[in-house]
Amino acid sequence: MYTDPSQPIEARVEDLLKRMTIEEKIGQMTQVEKDSIRPGDITKYFIGSILSGGGGSPKENSAQGWYAMVEGFQNEALATRLGIPILYGVDAVHGHGNMQNATIFPHNIGLGAANNPELTEKIGRATAEEMLASGTPWNFAPVIAVVQDVRWGRTYEGYSEDTEIVSSLGAAYIRGMQSLESDDVATPGQSLFALATPKHFIGDGATIWASSRTENYKLDQGNMQVPEEVLRELFLPPYQKAVDAGAMNVMASFNSWKGIKLHAQQPLLTEILKNELGFNGFIVSDWQAINQIYPDDYYASVVTSINAGVDMNMVPYDYISFIETMKQAVTNGDIPESRVDEAVRRILRVKFALGLFEHPMPDTKYQSTVRSRDHLELARQAVRESLVLLKNDNSVLPLSKDIPVIFVAGEGANDLGLQSGGWTLEWQGRPGNDNEGTTIFSGIRATVSSETQVLYNRDADFTEFKDTAGNRLIADVGIVVLAERPYAEGVGDQADISLTASEIKLITETQKQSKALVVILIAGRPRVITEQLPLADAWIAAWLPGTEGGGVADVLFGDHPFTGKLSYSWPRSNEQLPININNSAGKTGCDAPLFPLGYGLTYGEQTPEILECNP
């Protein structure tokens, strides 16, 4: 019966489950990193899932190379006695970032500033198409953390500090990724186009500074101490919206709540998420996170996490130890076989809903969507809508396309890697123009008139440029692009988010050589810019726009308006941190944020007196 797509999914699940041995069931609960699985072991151990971590691409990093790799793993799974297909997972957190020359969209902090659910839904769909082009149907995204401290290295993965924005955009992304359209290749009973993963359940954006047990991390994987009523009010609603939107997978969080790791929290994982919220998909662990429950007792860690409600373990390396530990725990009665059955039932339900039994590999027609015109236009629209105008003195913006001379300074102006940030080609991201795309500099050059000189120097040294009389050239407008170095997760936890000395020098040097100055910030969070704000006529928060930097020029020169609004409070100083709408209500003057949540100028609006705080 389980091979008959005309049968109801629940009937197929139950029929398959009763045919399975305990070894086959435990195999379904096991997820292995692609470079760690030995040839033949998917078949031997009935492995249920393989994943690529950040940077986990095949040697031929193309849609075709990815597809061939996944198909090889899939063929091993189909050679098992029952022919249960694997589920392959990737971190496509802003487009399929591991795959070279994919469409890289703005990170979620930019989508939060755009706050356009329809746009976010389309991005979810486009990302799913480019994933399926590579043979991968499962995306470990979106992050639906309600971020309370922008020092966190994952701030840019979160849409906002505001619960409503996060709930709305997270649900929209899930709908876009998972919903089937009329022309999709689907089988009878299939209900999911691709699989999204709202994460990390729960409170990963609410940890306390210096509470992390992980070496060199400060906030990431740390401890959340809020009472249950706050957890329910601020951090739970996005998950309810995600479940309502059809989420069939949730990733448990590395962080702790009141000192207990989330992977051990049965009241949260089972009683609240599964029972109260009505979640009927499966819970996957984070990367080796089960091991953190009792670092010196792997057996106890496995027993505790599985009994708490984790259904699939992202092992990701020593899968044989996990399988043997699970078998021993079931034999000992420490993990009831009924709990194993519940976990496997949830996993199989998703595999059937994805149509994997009928189509273990996606239709290759989706390979034509990678960097398609529609996807590139969507990404460019997302860049435009994500930009936030922080300051615009003397209406210096929009710029005229006929300006005689423009100086452009800063490495970030001509670097797609800096534009894209973490989770791009590698886990931490990397500088360089290793993807196809449009830098901010090239977007400016393509927008202005043929008579305009657009001159670039990463260090703001424009002394070599002379006018027709041989005098040192002065720009009509200088544009400085300041860019954070890429980072991801706790590696990006940072106590000091102010501008560096070299960044300030870029501003002051370009200012000396320009009649007007515009500063564009490429960053995964707000930066402390209070003292530098008077140095430039205009400031723009461009976040991490991805590969389609031409969208910045679209707004800079007035082809489109500024519409973005801050989805995070903007701090005046490091000493103010953490500051957000939940701890700054009623604060005024120097105690208030420099720019509040929802701030963003449009053309024609005057910059308010934001610096006057009268200490």
**Which residues are catalytic, by number?**
286, 489
Name the phi and psi angles at 116, rounded to 5: -120, 95
| Alpha-carbon distances, residue 94 vs 10, 199, 382, 545 (angstroms) | 33, 14, 11, 10
Distance of CA 109 to the CA centre of its chain: 9
Specify which residues 595 forms β-bridges with.
Answer: 570
The helix-helix angle for 319-332 and 337-353 (nearest 10°) equals 130
Token duo for residue 343: 């976990």
Residue whose token pair is 């393509």: 446
Question: CA-CA distance, 345 to 117, in Å (whole number)?
Answer: 32
Q: Which residues have a Cβ under 8 Å from the Cβ of 126 and sit 6 or more positions away?
A: 95, 103, 105, 176, 369, 374, 375, 378, 379
CA distance 169 to 176: 11
Amino acid letter, 335: I
Reported as half-sphere exposure (CB side, CA atoms, 13 A), residue 402 has a value of 0
Q: Give the phi and the psi of residue 89 in degrees, each rounded to 5.
A: -120, 150
Q: Which residues contact 364 (CB under 8 A, 6 or more apart)?
A: 67, 133
Q: Could you tell me the end-to-end alpha-carbon distance of the chain, in angstroms, rounded to an integer?
A: 74
Q: Which H/E stretch holds residue 501?
A: helix 501-512
Report CA-CA distances (Å) from 586 to 503, 583, 609: 33, 9, 18
Among 93, 211, 3, 156, CA closest to 523: 156
Calculate the CA dihedral of residues 300, 301, 303, 309 and round it to 10 degrees.
Answer: 150
Report how far residue 480's alpha carbon sits from residue 458's, in angstroms, rounded to the nearest whole number.
9
Helix residue ranges, H only, 309-432: 319-332, 337-353, 373-386, 416-420
Distance CA 58, CA 65 (A): 6
Peptide bond into 142 cis (omega under 30): yes
Question: For the chain, percent helix, then strand, then coil, each to nearest 5?
Answer: 35, 15, 50
37-54 exposure pattern, b = at least 16 Cβ within 10 A, e = fewer:
beeebbbebbbbbbbbbb
Strands 538-543 and 49-51: unpaired
Cβ pair 343, 315 in contact under 8 A: no
Structure tokens at 257: 């709540």
Give dist(CA 499, CA 243) in Å, integer.
40
Q: CA 10 to CA 14: how far, in whole Å?
A: 6
How many CB atoms are located within 10 Å of the residue 392 CB? 22
The closest of 336, 263, 342, 274 to 304, measured between CA atoms, is: 263
